[in-house]
Structure 1
Amino acid sequence: MTSMYMWSRIDLKGFDGLVITPGSYLYNYAFPEEEKSLCMLEMRSFFGKDSEEGIIESSVEIDPSRSPFIRERIDVLFKGNDLHQIIARVKELELGESTFKVRYVKAAGLDKIAFEERRRIERRVGLAVKGIPELDNPVLIFGIVEVHGFWYFGQLHNSEQVWLQHQHKPNSYSTALGTRVARAVANIAVPEPAGVKAIDPCCGIGTVVVEALSMGIDIVGSDNNPLILTGTRENIAHFGYSTDIKFIDLREVTGHYDVAIIDMPYNLCSVITPEEQLDMLHSTRGFADKAVIVTIEPIDPVIREAGFEIIDRGIVKKGNFTREVIVCKKALKN
């Protein structure tokens, strides 16, 4: 059976002349205030730009289930500055025997539209579609929304909150990142997984590794604490994934990786000196071209001294506790 995704790509090819913005996607985000900065950083990693309103248009196609913040994606078919224009174009669609429904997309950062008005717009657009309306279990869901004077219409894809399932792992660790944050960090580190090799050399109980593997990221892990690695491997296997997890200190890692994800666990478990931080990051520079560092204390001078250039950053707050996510790349040698 042809999937909804393939339907939008195959059956609508005949409508090229009607598509105002072919290859355009509209993403609808939702985020708690304490994770807003992290969400903006993830947006910039995916799209090269962000939007505090939580809705963003891009030619970059991202599975909405990858992000813990994306609620849905519209594959834009028609875009115009008038709803009548959209309805005129929708009338050209021929769905045959396919069932459908139209839903007005609510975006948190846009002006509120009353429930009755949203239903009225859905009915107006739905009546223009040549197909079989079905509210409960349609084959196709279309989204309609107005953003700053432009109307968007297209196939709607909802996010599946995969990261929620990963909260129920066999083994936990008190200082581990939450699954939402871990998933965002993995996306920030590897926005485009194809051909990218990643490593989490302080993987702990494997929260980041599980999130990365669930998104098809090629990642391995290691840690210098042998007492938790059995639990790490069990967590990964519990969700049906597999990868190499080694008992090795970060400073002994060899090989080459495109990116390293480092949640500085030493800051939470024991006192670590700036000299030890420098040693860790200098070693990281030896095996990774890029690093995403999660830290609870300022380490910018150490990062620069280790030979990295800071290119972006975000923060995550939880009460009085703040983590900083810092994106770095190898600095050019003088």
Structure 2
Amino acid sequence: CRVLSGVDPVQGIAAGGNTEYIGRAAYQQFGLQVLASAPDLQSLCEQAATLQGMEGFQVRVIAQASSGEERQAWALAVADAIQAKPNLDQPSHRLVLIKAAGHHVLGKIVTQPDRSYRQHDQKPQRTSASLSSRLARALVNLVPVAAKTILDPCCGSGALVLEAHAIGLQVFCGDINANMVQKTTENLAHFNYACGVQLQDARAWHQPVDAIVTDLPYGKYSRVADEVVLEIFTQAAVIAPMGVFVAGMDLSAQMLAAGYAQVEVFAVPKAKGFQRYVHRGSREPIGEPR
């Protein structure tokens, strides 16, 4: 959320953030234009009464720890205040009332994720360890929005490669396993994405890119030796200022040893108690959100 909006969310809301990149998001719901803001519902309704051009509106409510009856009452209060006729079936203006931290905000939905990652759930080739399309999209979105080129040196069946293509990045990719190269090639062709897949050791890449995003082999039969992981990190830090790596354990110490100045780690639960660890490393300290 921080990368796409520019701000950290508080209670699931990124207030004051940029909505330009929400269309490519994996987990965000929408981007709002704030129409009214007040400490209490009555004051908010007074502001709502002054809104113009709201014909055909619809109001939904987001409020933690509230009942359905409460949310319905709040929605009706706002709807009654707006000087226009609602349209619940085909709204022209989709409004959202958010009640959080003792404050009320009324906003208009101006953008929503296109959910284009869903089409990749139908890719013809996959493995038992393949990332879901939605998670793969979220991982690609950890890369700064200014990035134009990325590398996936352990592409597997291509989940990350597909998502990077879908949001318009130039992608370089490969794998040391010829079977994985073939799977990614078939998946790319299925969606008419143009990208050459290289049969190559992850440590042998020299192509400078804006970021590296890859899912390291960490299954029961495909775990990479510790010294190889360190060598992958070392080369990655040379050719890209940022790297996003998925692994079966916390490898932040190895990333720091390989030359990254700062490493963030996010644990992502998987089935049967297993966890993936998502690492985002930068050669320079990652700036604080505005």
Which one of the candidate residues 25, 29, 34 is aligned to 1:71? 29
3-state SS of paired residue (1:94): coil
Seen in structure 2, the aligned counterparts of structure 1 residues 218 and 89 have a Cα distance that, compared at 3 Å, is farther
1:317 aligns with 2:272: no
Trace 1:115-264 onto structure 2 (pairs within 5 A). 115-156=68-109, 157-188=111-142, 190-192=143-145, 194-264=146-216
- Cα deviation, residue 259, structure 1: 0.8
- Cα deviation, residue 154, structure 1: 1.4
Instruction: Name the aligned partner's letter for residue 323 of structure 1.
Output: R
Instruction: Name the aligned partner's letter for residue 136 of structure 2.
Output: A
Seen in structure 2, the aligned counterparts of structure 1 residues 87 and 222 have a Cα distance that, compared at 3 Å, is same
Q: Which residue number in structure 1 is paired with residue 53 of structure 2?
A: 95
Answer yes or no: is the 8 Å Cα contact 1:64–1:158 preserved in 2.
yes
The answer for unaligned runs of 5 or more in structure 1 is 1-42
Q: CA RMSD in A?
A: 2.5
3-state SS of paired residue (1:172): coil
How many percent identity over aligned positions?
A: 27
3-state SS of paired residue (1:308): coil
Answer yes or no: is the 8 Å Cα contact 1:75–1:154 preserved in 2.
yes
Trace 1:5-24 onto structure 2 (pairs within 5 A). none
Seen in structure 2, the aligned counterparts of structure 1 residues 302 and 57 have a Cα distance that, compared at 3 Å, is same
- Cα deviation, residue 266, structure 1: 5.6
Seen in structure 2, the aligned counterparts of structure 1 residues 196 and 160 have a Cα distance that, compared at 3 Å, is closer
Trace 1:30-109 onto structure 2 (pairs within 5 A). 43-46=1-4, 47-51=6-10, 53-61=11-19, 63-95=21-53, 98-106=55-63
3-state SS of paired residue (1:95): coil
Answer yes or no: is the 8 Å Cα contact 1:65–1:162 preserved in 2.
no
Answer yes or no: is the 8 Å Cα contact 1:172–1:205 preserved in 2.
yes
Answer yes or no: is the 8 Å Cα contact 1:100–1:132 preserved in 2.
yes
Seen in structure 2, the aligned counterparts of structure 1 residues 232 and 92 have a Cα distance that, compared at 3 Å, is same
Q: Which residue number in structure 2 is paired with residue 24 of structure 1?
A: none
Distance 1:45 1:243 in 2: 26
Distance 1:61 1:158 in 2: 9
Answer yes or no: is the 8 Å Cα contact 1:310–1:326 preserved in 2.
no
Instruction: Name the aligned partner's letter for residue 207 of structure 2.
Output: G
Deviates more, 1:156-165 or 1:300-309: 156-165
Answer yes or no: is the 8 Å Cα contact 2:34–2:108 preserved in 1.
yes
The answer for unaligned runs of 5 or more in structure 2 is 286-290
Answer yes or no: is the 8 Å Cα contact 2:19–2:32 preserved in 1.
no
Answer yes or no: is the 8 Å Cα contact 2:7–2:14 preserved in 1.
no
The TM-score with structure 1 as length reference comes to 0.76
Instruction: Name the aligned partner's letter for residue 122 of structure 1.
Output: A
Answer yes or no: is the 8 Å Cα contact 2:202–2:232 preserved in 1.
yes
- Cα deviation, residue 136, structure 1: 0.6
Q: Which residue number in structure 2 is paired with residue 288 of structure 1?
A: 240
3-state SS of paired residue (2:241): strand
Indicate the structure with greater strand content.
1
Aligned residue pair count: 282
Seen in structure 2, the aligned counterparts of structure 1 residues 64 and 44 have a Cα distance that, compared at 3 Å, is closer
Distance 2:13 2:228 in 1: 42
